[in-house]
Amino acid sequence: MNVVESVADLRAQCDAARVAGRRVGFVPTMGYFHVGHRSLMERARAENGLVVVSLFVNPTQFGPGEDLSAYPRDLEADTRVAEAAGVDVLFVPSVDVMYPDGPPRTTVHVAGLTEGMCGAARPTHFDGVTTVVAKLFSMVGPCRAYFGRKDFQQVAVVRRMAIDLDLPVEVIGCPLVREPDGVARSSRNAYLTAPERAAAPGLHAALGAAADRIRAGERRAEAIRELVASVVEAPLELEYVEVRDATDLVSLDELAGSFVIAVAARLGRARLIDNIVMEVDGAAVEVDDGVIIDQDAAR
């Protein structure tokens, strides 16, 4: 595996792969890799000739008072994980490489999809995400890009950006990865104390209760929102529960077709997000709840 720090080196390796007829798979990350990241790398490895992973804790997507300085980092361990997953190029740029003239004066904003959900609590977050991802897409060039579905709104926003800007990138949303007790894998889970970690499954349990109610015939979105809010208990502090169309994230009144039930909650220092995707066709109900991993998986 090649570890590169410059944009010129990254572009040279991606361009050489495409000239040789190999498709490029790209996984953008902020590091502190866990099994969810590894699943993205492994899928990229299975579907592409060259696999690139970027590792950059992007300051422009953190708002005032958020956890930029405390965000977990472990480059040595991340390098081992990436190499074991078959990554060819690990791109580890500095802030000066990504933003050589300071904070960018050109930013990317995706209207509509960034409103509500995580965008309500973090109003500058998605502009930071789309701007840095647009830069990374420009550096890597034509590719398949892999994102975890835990950040469901982010996947929808980045996909819309790529479509609207005619970027030569196929954005692929990959299954959310869960621990055996249902907790969605996240780098920020490292913030949880033992008692907080014991309470964390309550968020997934609330989603499970919602799925059960829908299987029983409930089709009113407001009833589902109220149910989830009633199930989430202290020390979890519910930030939002949303029921939205799975494609355009329009808020729903009645459940039909494919939709997402998304939640966010504060737990100690951590902000946890989770979701399930469901499809309703008359009385038939399908649920995509992600993938359960083994208890002994790394991080």
Give the residue among 186, 171, 182 at the shortest CA–CA distance from 118.
Answer: 186
**221-231 helix and 201-215 helix, angle to the nearest 10 degrees:** 150
Active-site positions? 37
Helix (H, G, I), strand (E, B) or coil at 38: helix
Give the residue among 168, 171, 155, 158 at the shortest CA–CA distance from 132.
Answer: 158
Residue 64, number of CB atoms within 10 A of its CB: 6
Pair of tokens at residue 261: 């039930």
CB 197 within 8 A of CB 299: no
Question: Sign of dihedral through CA atoms 228, 229, 230, 231?
Answer: positive
Q: What is the CA radius of gyration of the chain?
A: 19
For the stretch 131-167, what's the b/e string if a residue is b when 16 or more beta carbons lie within 10 angstroms of its beta carbon?
A: bbbbbbbebbbebbbbbbbbbbbbbbbbbbbbeeeeb
Residue 257, number of CB atoms within 10 A of its CB: 12
d(CA 83, CA 101): 32
